[in-house]
Amino acid sequence: MTTFADRLQSSIDTTRSALIAGCDPVIDKLPRFLIDQAAAQSSTDDEFIERALAPFCEAFFEAIKGRVAAVKPNIAFFEQYGLTGLSVFKRLCDALRAAKIPVIIDAKRGDIGSTAAAYSAAFLGSTTVRGHAYTAFEGDALTINPFLGFDTLEPFVTDCERAGKGLFILLQTSNPGAKDIQGLSANGKTVTLHVAEWLAKNAPRLVGSCGWSGLGAVVGASYPDEARALRAILPSTLFLMPGFGAQGAGADDAAAGFGTQNGKRGGALVNVSRGLLEGTATSLETLRELISSNADKFNGQLKGALA
């Protein structure tokens, strides 16, 4: 069994990319041709949702394949469309994993005891159905909210140890109000620093032969100074860095979170979501070309900053 960190590093090496493509579809903001086609083919809301989301996700998959190190579908953007949306979400995750593209499910789960275990079973481990193991929405890693306490993280970490999966713990997020709670001081240290110390202590539990730990952290590219400080505390922790592109952070900001292992600079995935759809598409072919072109653009910017 390979670790998540090693599978991710292999994908980074193969694609020569440190980008992670976020998939956050909102039907009303999809290209007009998709909405019009879905409306013409549908008599119910569920049919419309299926015929709008499924072609978009298929085009997204084809466009990013080989261009990004991983994909981060945000389950909330599919949940808002009910069971039909979740069905499309599952098919996307399954297709990505079948193509050996690491899938980091953005669900920000976190709860106590048996509830945490159930969340983990849904995305990382498994539950039992008719005597066999069953995983509802299998991914390679999951985003986690730690603010109910460190004991709530244990079921997730244990499943990752057993199944070779990974986690990204919310540490220093990219939103403007992040420091309202994360920046509060407790016992002479910010909440962020308390979480970072827990991560540093537990990182060896999910470390791969590549030197990076799959017990990762979400560190916003919008805060480059904080990212550098956290990298000093967490030299082996994989960072998932939102905020690049449409949220205002530049490539130089994102580069602040990278570290070094085995003589190679790395250890960070830089997220781009809305930026992949910048521009106009009038067909599935031009949509694929648009996403591919934008991915190449962001890859170029990030490689320039890292050089």
| pLDDT for the residue numbered 159 | 97
| pLDDT for the residue numbered 175 | 87
Residue 246: is its pLDDT beyond 80? Answer: no
pLDDT digits (tens, 9 = 90+) for 167-178: 999 999 988 888
**What integer is the mean pLDDT of 235-244?**
94
Looking at every residue in the chain, the average pLDDT score rounds to: 95
What's the pLDDT band for 247 if we cut at 50, 70, 90? low
pLDDT digits (tens, 9 = 90+) for 96-133: 999 999 999 999 999 998 999 999 999 999 999 999 99
The CATH number covering residue 283 comes to: 3.20.20.70
**What integer is the mean pLDDT of 239-246?**
86
Domain membership of residue 169 as a residue range: 4-306
Tell me how far apart the terminal alpha carbons of the chain are, to the nearest angstrom: 33
Tokens for 251? Answer: 């490539």
CA gap 145, 27 in Å, rounded: 27
Q: What total number of domains does the chain contain? A: 1
| Residues involved in catalysis | 108
Identify the weakest region by mean pLDDT among 10-19, 70-79, 237-246. Answer: 237-246
Phi and psi at 154, nearest 5°, equal -60, -45
CA gap 159, 268 in Å, rounded: 23
pLDDT digits (tens, 9 = 90+) for 138-158: 999 999 999 999 999 999 999
| pLDDT for the residue numbered 176 | 86
pLDDT digits (tens, 9 = 90+) for 176-232: 888 889 989 989 999 999 999 999 999 999 999 999 999 999 999 988 999 999 999
| pLDDT for the residue numbered 55 | 98
CA gap 162, 159 in Å, rounded: 5
Portion of the chain with pLDDT greater than 90, in percent = 91
| pLDDT for the residue numbered 244 | 85
